[in-house]
Structure 1
């Protein structure tokens, strides 16, 4: 479809990463594709014409900044996640795409000739993805695997250059510091507010409270109201089959509050980091 539309698209993570040796074998639950921001609507429209539908999303863009559009199909057992930017990459999304596109290569998969990241770009993408949740054992394991690979295959310089070109040097710092020669000095930029918030918010409830705390005073009442009384689409963003009748919505509200209360200790720890910052 991308070829027929003349859209540049390359596929990230997933089975291609396993074939390239960038990841341990695993089962993928979705397909991740990257397109230029100006081509996002064309791709989504093309998928829509073929029976794919956009999944509901939380409309609160301050709390959950958007970086992709997810679509599903009633006859396919997986989603497609169409990326137009990548968290941690602070260069303008259009420029960032051009940098990445220049570092893609062909790979045959499922009977198709696909564009996928080169090894060095694949390492950057996978490392950024794992760094967002580095508190999880699986992500720590993946980061260690990528560090060993980067050093063994001598990708450190290429990964460093990509981190600079994509504006991800600040986000990649925990991954890169141990790989650089001891004599090399780097001027590490400060991480963006969005990236710091992503790292602090280990629970969805934390993300909302952090966003409310950082919002201008005039916006806080509305954000608090929508956090306490979310729109129906918020329930659907978690479960597209959620019961939207009045009793069903009441049950969803109850489940949401139970989930929040159970995560309260972690939420408090996340908020304590905000106070320190």
Structure 2
């Protein structure tokens, strides 16, 4: 249909996706892409966790998927062909990288593509097939997708909450798991956690949820898990990464960490796309101020982690 100005009525309107519409539609998109590319993918956390009852009802801001080993780049390329972009990782990321994030300028939702999941110590080549055996079908945006059954979903949700146990949201989600969610049987969750080498990471949850757990000879947690769970200041991970590098490679990373390219701000906050230089400078100043205020805490936690590594 044409308007009086010769422009179709469809052309005169722009459709804006609401956040929850975007979450469901992006899930359907990922499922279709993985089906077309013959890539096994498990949807974790978010809407599927709510559906199976291991996460309290509420809106999600993104979609999380766990992709079979060696195929994450394939999924990234499939999304890139449809206009999605890979978010630049900071040169010194705030935590050890376990996933990559895709975003689209016209979609208000991110897609997090996990190639490992923190707290699962078995290599992906071992853990993914074991989790795949616990797959279960869900429906998102009228499309079937694969997530995890109750035992698998409980492990993922507990590990997610335990990774940053002081965050109010994680406290609430762990409390929900312990007191409101229907729990899998002890044998199911114990066996799967042992098979994927997550018993040590899961210990606080298992001891709180299952009386039988007191009889388990829990292994020691890994240094990676200790680092992820005991460090609250993001700058500590950056310092640890820098300390592991030879001196001649440190300064370029420090410079870029202090003066990240403008696109990193735009990718993390779509509202900043196209803003002027003065606005970007203000953001940099706020960022530097936040770093300086947190510097004493960063140094304290850095020394604690380094001393722990030295004793190990």
Q: Is 1:192 aligned to 2:219, yes or no? A: no
CA–CA separation in structure 2 for the residues paired with 1:180 and 1:23 = 19
Find the residue that maps to 2:236 and give its secondary structure.
helix
Q: Structure 1: which 5+ runs fail to align?
A: none
CA–CA separation in structure 2 for the residues paired with 1:254 and 1:235 = 13
CA–CA separation in structure 2 for the residues paired with 1:4 and 1:67 = 25
How far the C-alpha of 1:159 sits from its partner, in A, is: 1.7
How far the C-alpha of 1:66 sits from its partner, in A, is: 1.9
Relative distance call for 1:23 and 1:234 in structure 2 (3 A) is: farther
CA–CA separation in structure 2 for the residues paired with 1:31 and 1:2 = 14
Q: Is 1:56 aligned to 2:88, yes or no? A: yes
Per the alignment, residue 270 of structure 1 pairs with 301
Per the alignment, residue 173 of structure 1 pairs with 203
Over aligned residues, Cα RMSD in angstroms? Answer: 2.8
Matched length: 272
Q: Is 1:153 aligned to 2:183, yes or no? A: yes
Per the alignment, residue 68 of structure 2 pairs with 36
Per the alignment, residue 250 of structure 2 pairs with 223
Per the alignment, residue 69 of structure 1 pairs with 100
Judge conservation of contact 1:52–1:73 (CA < 8 Å) in 2. Answer: yes
Per the alignment, residue 207 of structure 1 pairs with 237
Q: Is 1:141 aligned to 2:172, yes or no? A: yes
TM-score if structure 2 supplies the norm length? 0.77
Relative distance call for 1:144 and 1:41 in structure 2 (3 A) is: same
How far the C-alpha of 1:16 sits from its partner, in A, is: 1.5
Deviations 1:203-242 (A, max 9, x none): 21122234445x2xx6256336623542765664454247
Q: Structure 2: which 5+ runs fail to align?
A: 1-32
Judge conservation of contact 2:95–2:234 (CA < 8 Å) in 1. Answer: no
How far the C-alpha of 1:42 sits from its partner, in A, is: 1.4
How far the C-alpha of 1:52 sits from its partner, in A, is: 0.8
CA–CA separation in structure 1 for the residues paired with 2:262 and 2:174 = 33
